[in-house]
Amino acid sequence: MKKKDKVDYVKNGKRLDGRKVDELRPIKIEAGVLQRADGSAYLEWGQNKVLVAVYGPREALPKHIQNPYRALVNYNYRMATFSVPDRKSPKPGRREIEISKVSGEALERAIFLERFPNTTIDVFVEILDSNAGTRVAALSAASVALADAGIPMRDLVSAVGVGKAGGEVILDLNKAEEDAPDAVDMPIAMLPRTKEIVLLQMDGLFTKKEWQKSMKLAEKGCEQVYEAQREALRKKFLEAEKEDKKSKKAGDQ
């Protein structure tokens, strides 16, 4: 890139979209959005829009895949054909298969799988609109959907993306920042209460100092995502409690 074409991704402490280096894009999460699923969630994170449905635990079929000691987590991450500017093939690509694998393994660390032998927990994720960070958005939404399904968990899984653009370490990269010439993208997920890291991937390189800064940003970001997740679940169950009270009151009359 020529010097005159150089983009300042962070200028006077502000990024191209007006955020600070440690600021997340706006997040909105709603639990229990699908009646036919055992648990579900809808998430908007910046431009990203994610819908998740959870089914199970239910008998794992065919029987030869059953594990007598624990449940299996079947995580299906898919991007809708209209989720990106150029129409995407409906066939799952290598990226979707890879994200499905690592995200399912991250959720396994949170779920008490040993309580449900010979079963499967199916998590279906559909990316409706995409603008960087879809794997962390999907994983955070999936965690809410699992909790909505009543599946016992050690903690929610909260995830964020941390990276670098224009030489600056930043939290929650958008698409323009992901496409920077020196871009580094590091999706990370953890169990917020114990700080156990359950997913960590990296595309690019950090210096030791940048790594230390990125981990602090990741921890801060995950705490904010965690609060949004808890608030979504709190709202869902408070509404359910109100509906239950109304039903009982109507029955008494």
Summarised one tens digit per residue, pLDDT across range 196-212 is 999 999 999 999 999 99
pLDDT (mean) for 126-155:
97
| pLDDT above 90: percentage of residues in the chain | 83
Give residue 207's region: left, alpha or beta (phi > 0; psi -120 to 50).
beta
The sign one gets for the Cα dihedral 80, 85, 87, 88 is negative
Backbone φ and ψ of 157, nearest 5°: -100, 120
Q: Give the CATH fold of the 20-252 domain.
A: Ribosomal Protein S5; domain 2 (3.30.230)
| pLDDT above 70: percentage of residues in the chain | 97
Beta strands in 9-71 (DSSP E): 10-11, 14-15, 27-31, 39-45, 48-59
pLDDT band at 92 (very low <50, low <70, confident <90, very high): confident
Task: Provide the whole-model pTM.
Answer: 0.92
Residue ranges per domain, the chain? 20-252
Task: Name beta bridge partners: 203.
Answer: 185
pLDDT (mean) for 99-125:
98
Q: What pLDDT digit, counting tens, does each position of 217-239 carry?
A: 999 999 999 999 999 999 998 98
pLDDT (mean) for 184-189:
97
